[in-house]
Copies of this chain bind each other. A is one copy, B any other.
Amino acid sequence: MAGRAYRLRGRMWIEGPDGTFLGYGRVVLLERIREHGSISAAARSMEMSYRHAWQLVDSMNRQSREAVVEKSAGGRGGGGAILTAAGERAVAAFWSAHGDFREFLARRNRQLDL
């Protein structure tokens, strides 16, 4: 077999009481909510329906002791949303685990005995 033709790949997510709590797409959504200050603008920026984005946020909020996203009072159009401190911690925890996972894959890939 052709040695370096092969590569170890993987996906990683954090499971909560109801299934997926945080995965790559959910974390990007949280970061976009932080950036855009609203769920609908965040969804639009990812070409995701508002309904789907809302369901993901609801799933994360229901699985957290503290909400990861909250409605923001005021703002230009009302209806905004913010990433809470708990949300920031969740995002940081995900990227930290994700970085270690990437490192594991790269290291283990070099030992792939194929």
Chain A interface residues toward B at CB < 8 A: 1-2, 5-17, 21, 63-66, 86, 89-90, 92-93, 96-97, 100-101, 104-105, 108, 112-114
- Interface majority SS on A: helix, strand, loop or mixed? mixed
- Closest B residue to A64 by CB, please name it: B1
List B contacts of A21 (CB < 8 A): 6
Q: How far is the CA of A8 from the CA of B96 in the complex (A)?
A: 12
User: Per a CB cutoff under 8 Å, which of B2, B7, B13, B89 touches A14?
Assistant: B7
Q: How far is the CA of A49 from the CA of B6 in the complex (A)?
A: 27
Asked if B5 and A63 make an inter-chain contact with CB atoms under 8 angstroms apart, the answer reads: yes
Whether A97 contacts B93 in the complex (CB less than 8 A), given A12-B8, A65-B1, comes out as: no
23 residue pairs of the A-B complex, CB under 8 angstroms, read A1-B64, A1-B66, A1-B86, A2-B65, A6-B14, A6-B16, A6-B21, A7-B15, A8-B15, A9-B12, A9-B15, A10-B12, A10-B101, A12-B105, A14-B112, A14-B114, A89-B114, A90-B114, A93-B112, A93-B114, A96-B113, A101-B108, A104-B104
